[in-house]
Amino acid sequence: MEQVNELKEKGNTALNAEKFDEAVAAYTEAIALDSQNHVLFSNRSAAYAKAGKFAEALKDAEQTIALNPTWPKGYSRKGAAAAGLHDFMKAFEAFNEGLKYDPTNAVLLQGRQEITASVLSYMQSQGDIPMDIDPQMPRARRAPSPPRRTAEPAKPAEPRVEDMSEDEKKKYFAKLEKELGNAAYKKKEFDDALKHYNAAIEHDPTDITFYNNIAAVYFERKEYEECIKQCEKGIEVGRENRSDFKLIAKSFARIGNTYRKLENYKQAKIYFEKAMSEHRTPEIKTSLSEMEAKIKEQERQAYINPEKAEEEKEQGNHFFKKGDYSNAVKHYSEAIKRNPDDPKLYSNRAACYTKLAAFDLGLKDCETCIKLDEKFIKGYIRKGKILQGMQQTSKASAAYQKALELDPNNAEAIEGYRQSSMNFQRNPQEVLKNAMSDPEIQQILKDPAMRMILEQMQNDPNAVKEHLQNPAIADKIMKLLESGIIQIH
């Protein structure tokens, strides 16, 4: 041991004389004799650091801590070596760790203060963006920097930690931990980010921003339950400390975004509404609208049931055969809700609308029917009949022609195409003349009741809807429509 002490003193003398290589050699020789002596590694770390060999200094400092984890000087050595390597985060952590064993250690306090100033300066030079932002929200563009002045005023000196009040110290170090967390978050080093954000909360548990930032980390890691818990805790802390309502809104919005990721759109809607009650923003409003649309689509999908649709279709067929077209429409509409991809249902409802002279609705159903199945021939035939009733003979011919392309021998399509082509080529006078020669048409027009109904329809176009409820009258009106005697627009 005496030889070890002599070598240590020799190293100390060389170090004080700034003969760093001699100091390192002496300490190394001493370590060879006593490899469990933490002081020797600490001294050699100092010598390496003085010589600018920070990697070697860091290695010795870590060995010092390994040999004596409760000795504060080991942490100050590690902090100095890490700072020399510009690893500010590691340096700050080392000083912080040492202060746990000796909270009043002047060297550690001063080291942490100096590294704090270095970190903040570095953050400013890198244009660091605070992390208290929602990862779902688009980041606003940074405003263009004003022209740099030729002479910048001198920056005020960093406050000395020992001159701060206890509350100021807590906020000061909490801010630094947050900035270190932000830097780690941007690098996607989420474990380090969490470590720093939690350290910030230890210094200052009253700031909602730290909880929001922790929630952001969990969100990125897809640990959604933890994200929600942190947001809820942040809201509680924010309420207790009267935080800015915008920050509370951010917590609610992040919960909403989390539930959106979980595809729980109803819960997401609830929290976006809560966020809106705190602070209305276009982004939250858009998210709320998206959730409402998602919920509506989910409900629509949940309502689909082909078996129920078939039952409703049969009911519709029953009322159609009875001539009760209004009730038939109700059942076909319910069937469509239950099975919205069945083209036959739209075709059947279009037939009802045709009987009710609701040609615009019938035409819309035909278009939907054809869109769902381009080879469904009945869709084109119904479309042709509706267009005939609307006196749009050229369009009716095109519909029948499409039906004939699918089935050239379809009798209904052939007859419809023939009639529409003839009507298109003849003038209105000829159409009327031919219609009047039809005995069935003559009989309808001679019926006093029908003449009164036609006169009423002429004076009040809406009256046709009432008369179409009667199947016998509806058939006669449709016959007059097909012949061209009357027109409904």
pLDDT digits (tens, 9 = 90+) for 89-143: 888 888 888 888 888 787 888 888 787 777 666 655 555 444 544 444 334 334 4
Task: Please give the pLDDT value at position 182.
Answer: 93
Task: Tell me whether the CATH fold assigned to 306-426 matches the one assigned to 434-488.
Answer: no
pLDDT tens by residue, 42-86: 999 999 999 899 999 999 999 999 999 999 999 999 989 988 888
pTM above 0.75, yes or no: no
pLDDT tens by residue, 245-268: 999 999 999 999 999 999 999 999
Task: Please give the pLDDT value at position 154.
Answer: 47
Task: Please give the pLDDT value at position 273.
Answer: 96
Task: Please give the pLDDT value at position 137.
Answer: 39
Per-residue pLDDT for 191 more than 90? yes
Query: What's the mean pLDDT in 159-181?
Result: 83
Q: What is the mean pLDDT of the chain?
A: 85
Per-residue pLDDT for 418 more than 60? yes
Task: Please give the pLDDT value at position 441.
Answer: 80
Per-residue pLDDT for 201 more than 80? yes
Task: Please give the pLDDT value at position 158.
Answer: 56
Per-residue pLDDT for 276 more than 90? yes
Task: Please give the pLDDT value at position 125.
Answer: 59
Query: What's the mean pLDDT in 190-218?
Result: 94
Of 86-90, 313-317, 461-465, which gets the smallest average pLDDT? 461-465
> Interhelix angle for 411-425 vs 377-389, to 10°?
30
pLDDT tens by residue, 204-215: 999 999 999 999
Cβ(422)–Cβ(483) under 8 Å?
no
Per-residue pLDDT for 425 more than 80? no
Q: Residue 47 CA to chain centroid, in angstroms?
A: 55
In the chain, domain spans: 1-124, 205-302, 306-426, 434-488
Query: What's the mean pLDDT in 382-392?
Result: 88
* 1-124 carries CATH number 1.10.10.2120: no
Report which of residues 276 and 161 the model is more confident about. Answer: 276
Per-residue pLDDT for 486 more than 60? yes
* Three-state DSSP string of the chain: CHHHHHHHHHHHHHHHCCCHHHHHHHHHHHHHHCCCCHHHHHHHHHHHHHCCCHHHHHHHHHHHHHHCCCCHHHHHHHHHHHHHCCCHHHHHHHHHHHHHHCCCCHHHHHHHHHHHHHHHHHHHHCCCCCCCCCCCCCCCCCCCCCCCCCCCCCCCCCCCHHHCCHHHHHHHHHHHHHHHHHHHHHCCCHHHHHHHHHHHHHHCCCCHHHHHHHHHHHHHCCCHHHHHHHHHHHHHHHHHCCCCHHHHHHHHHHHHHHHHHCCCHHHHHHHHHHHHHHCCCHHHHHHHHHHHHHHHHHHHHHHCCHHHHHHHHHHHHHHHHHCCHHHHHHHHHHHHHHCCCCHHHHHHHHHHHHHCCCHHHHHHHHHHHHHHCCCCHHHHHHHHHHHHHCCCHHHHHHHHHHHHHHCCCCHHHHHHHHHHHHHHHCCHHHHHHHHHCCHHHHHHHHCHHHHHHHHHHHHCCCHHHHHCCCHHHHHHHHHHHHHCCCCCC
**Superfamily of domain 205-302, CATH level 4:** Tetratricopeptide repeat domain (1.25.40.10)
Per-residue pLDDT for 223 more than 50? yes
Q: Could you say which of 1.20.58.340, 2.60.120.370, 1.10.260.100, 1.20.990.10 is the CATH number of the domain covering 434-488? A: 1.10.260.100
pLDDT tens by residue, 314-348: 999 999 999 999 999 999 999 999 999 999 999 99
CA dihedral 436, 437, 441, 443 (to 10 degrees): 110
State the fold for domain 306-426: 1.25.40
